[in-house]
């Protein structure tokens, strides 16, 4: 754990030094992943799947606000669906307009959640979304997650039934739209997923806002249990076939809980051993406060000292005293 906290402090210091460059770079990376997920599932318009178009669009999104990025990604989806079927594109456009008018206009900060859900599904970690949303946001974000699940299920339905959708022939556009809507919204897994995700978000949010020790970790564990119990209960109790394997559900939920635990350490690391209970009052109220200090570890500073070996040799080298040369002995002849 100390290793993770030390890494967290280094990361915070690095981010504060290069925030101006890292923010747009993070947007570019997330947008690029979202483009790849959309193109991989419903890439029916060839022009939008070109690497040059994807790269340029991702770089452009790096300097745009999150709400506008969501609008661009929505238009990309509508464009792909238009290349497949005009009626389906109209349905998607109406759904996106309703989403923006009813919700995202008032809470634009949650707009990124809409496309984080399809990305999480593409990475096979979908159950991390409700746990992280419950930890970081509020229950109001349930609407964002629900719309994200809707976008994911819509792309999944189109990807699996593209041939059937193209073969639908009818003189009335309304009849064709009715057939497509029935195909999209009769999937019971879609409703079960939205309900279970909403329950997990509410449970995690309620538990992590309690004043008990280790509230965040308790919220993560209970949220993971609710996630597994929700999907299994839908199959056993309600006899609804969700097409989700139990082993896959458990493994992905455990991975989601581990990711949430790392998020907890990086964002909400506190030392419960130094908890203090304070009491003070004013003219109207008596206040009882529980203060839990955060764990802060100073990032070790590394100082580099340069040593000039050439100079050191000149300083440390001692002059040896000159040894007296052995003189030649002269023979002195003594005359008798």
Full DSSP string of 124-139: T-TTHHHHHHHHHS-G
In contact, 201 and 132? CB cutoff 8 Å? no
User: What is the arithmetic mean of pLDDT over 191-205?
Assistant: 93
Is pLDDT at 264 greater than 80 in this prediction?
yes
| Count of residues making up the chain | 336
Residues 150-167: tens digit of each pLDDT: 888 888 888 887 777 666
More confident residue, 60 or 111: 60
Confidence of residue 255 (pLDDT cuts 50, 70, 90): very high
Residue 72 has φ and ψ, to the nearest 5°, of: -65, -45
Residue 29 has φ and ψ, to the nearest 5°, of: -65, -45
Which pLDDT does position 168 carry in this prediction? 61
Give dist(CA 328, CA 68) in Å, integer.
100
Strands 276-281 and 286-291: antiparallel
Residues with Cβ within 8 Å of 275's Cβ and at least 6 positions away in sequence, in order, are: 213, 290, 291, 292
What's the sign of the alpha-carbon dihedral 34, 35, 37, 43? positive
Residues with Cβ within 8 Å of 7's Cβ and at least 6 positions away in sequence, in order, are: none
Is pLDDT at 226 greater than 90 in this prediction?
yes
User: What is the arithmetic mean of pLDDT over 217-243?
Assistant: 85
Which pLDDT does position 235 carry in this prediction? 81
Q: What is the pTM of this model?
A: 0.78
In contact, 139 and 201? CB cutoff 8 Å? yes
Give dist(CA 15, CA 27) in Å, integer.
14
Which pLDDT does position 336 carry in this prediction? 40
In contact, 82 and 89? CB cutoff 8 Å? yes
Quote the mean pLDDT of the chain.
79
Structure tokens at 305: 């000292």
Which pLDDT does position 259 carry in this prediction? 92
């Amino acid at each position: 754990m100390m290793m993770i906290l030390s890494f967290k402090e280094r990361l915070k210091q690095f981010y504060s030094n290069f925030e101006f460059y890292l923010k747009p770079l993070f947007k570019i990376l997330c947008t690029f992943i979202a483009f790849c997920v959309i193109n991989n599932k419903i890439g029916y318009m060839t022009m939008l799947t070109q690497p040059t178009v994807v790269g340029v669009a991702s770089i452009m999104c790096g300097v745009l606000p999150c709400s506008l990025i969501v609008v661009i990604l929505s238009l990309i989806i509508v464009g792909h669906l238009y290349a497949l079927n005009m009626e389906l594109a109209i349905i998607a456009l109406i759904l996106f307009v309703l989403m923006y008018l009813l919700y995202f206009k008032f809470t634009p900060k949650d707009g990124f959640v809409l496309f984080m859900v399809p990305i999480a599904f593409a990475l096979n970690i979908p159950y991390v979304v409700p746990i992280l949303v419950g930890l970081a946001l509020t229950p109001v974000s349930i609407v964002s997650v629900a719309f994200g699940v809707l976008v994911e299920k819509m792309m999944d339905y189109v990807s699996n039934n593209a041939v059937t959708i193209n073969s639908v022939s009818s003189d009335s556009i309304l009849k064709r739209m009715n057939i497509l809507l029935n195909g999209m919204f009769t999937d019971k897994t879609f409703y079960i997923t939205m309900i279970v995700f909403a329950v997990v978000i509410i449970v995690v949010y309620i538990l992590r806002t309690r004043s008990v020790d280790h509230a965040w970790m308790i919220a993560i564990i209970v949220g993971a249990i609710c996630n597994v119990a929700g999907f299994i209960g839908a199959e056993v109790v309600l006899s609804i076939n969700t097409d989700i394997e139990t082993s896959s559900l458990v493994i992905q939920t455990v991975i989601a809980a581990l990711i949430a635990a790392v998020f907890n350490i990086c964002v909400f690391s506190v030392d419960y051993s130094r908890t203090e209970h304070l009491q003070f009052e004013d003219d109207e109220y008596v206040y009882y406060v529980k203060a839990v200090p955060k764990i802060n570890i100073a990032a070790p500073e590394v100082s580099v000292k340069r040593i000039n070996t050439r100079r050191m040799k000149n300083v440390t080298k001692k002059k040896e005293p000159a040894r007296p040369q052995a003189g030649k002995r002269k023979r002195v002849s003594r005359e008798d």
